[in-house]
Structure 1
């Protein structure tokens, strides 16, 4: 979510910067168009003034070109307006420029062609100058307003660019911090317990059945620890039972071996004594051998009894 918010802010800043750049481009286009429109007015005014003074048709060439270009220039000028206020001003200026040739310049040219003395009168000259000055003032105001908007949009574009860089830096820092925190948490919650489980498994394989894994808050690691501890406890119980059973078998075997050997030695000693009594005293060699055997059996019996005790 943090990365998503950071990139959303970054996209917003980039979009805003693009909008500011487009607005600046539109303002520059509007300034170009207002210059072109003003040039049309100047061509109309200078062409008809030169013709009025010299009465030579060659001076009307820029005047004719300006009249031909006026509709297209007026349309581009109105379309280039960057705000509703500027559009209203552009429409007003356009009406004034269109009115100049229709209401003043064309009739004045026709009067000069007819050699009407009123064409060069002070009234006509003053009217033309007033029209042109009024239109130039409107052009100047329009240009000043557009330049002010361009400056504001330039500042906004710079601010948006800085915001985009800041958003990118914040997003990168947040992403890095998030990755670092996630790595630390993963190491604590997963890597360390897994390593502990591996070490415990090695100890268990080495014979230490008392090894246990401490509980974990991570569900998967906790389940692994529970299974490991259950297995270790089962193995420990099994080994205890095996050792107990083995010890019991050893005790029973020892007892059986002890009791059986003692009985055989007693039986052997009794048999030897009976054989001794049955041999005459004259058989000294046989009697001596029997006496030694009876003594050995007696010693073995005493050792057996002592071992039992």
Structure 2
């Protein structure tokens, strides 16, 4: 499935903030010193390892923010599989402009491709099941929108983008409010019918309370071992959507998906990802 690009206007403030951080108070001192004005070059962003592309849109914006006259040819679209040596983008124009935008473009593209690549590995482990892989809000501050887009490029799905998207009752909410039933009763009394409700449970006894009380659309099964997850699926009998979360390592995904849960959420997709090795060469 092709993921539509985000509007450029959403990404431009992220690009400009990164460029301002990198260019400092007087621009690229090295390039201004050693590259004669008017020097034109062709550069390519290449993959140095296999993976899934993400970040080409924001890399393009980085180059054009520095110099709108640069000619860009994106060879590998976001969501594409790449092998070592593949050219992701070719850039033609002022050498000084290319070099001044290089690091910001690569920082975004490498980080986001790393997220997409890890997500694709998690998704591959769910093959033959109905389980979907989803991210969390454990994202880099200020970069959530692009990191969640990278999850989509890797074949995953998005959880909440913010606290205002849905009601998600966590263990601390339950503790502060006095239990599962008081929380669900408050939601039924006050929440809009347009808002979906998810509640976290740590035990099968809590799940039984949710099933008895009603008022939730999704149950987050937190830090349960695989046999307990399987029992939770049997107890629920399809009445609610089930999301398994907590300690979701890559090597465990296949056995968790086989329990029949609807979603597996993994904060590691965004908070523990390794940047994919990309390089720019003139």
Per the normalisation by structure 1, the TM-score is 0.20
- The structure with the greater share of residues assigned to helix is 1
Q: Considering fraction of residues, name the structure with more strand.
A: 2
Taking CA–CA contacts closer than 8 Å with sequence separation of 6 or more, which of the two structures ends up with the larger relative contact order? Answer: 2
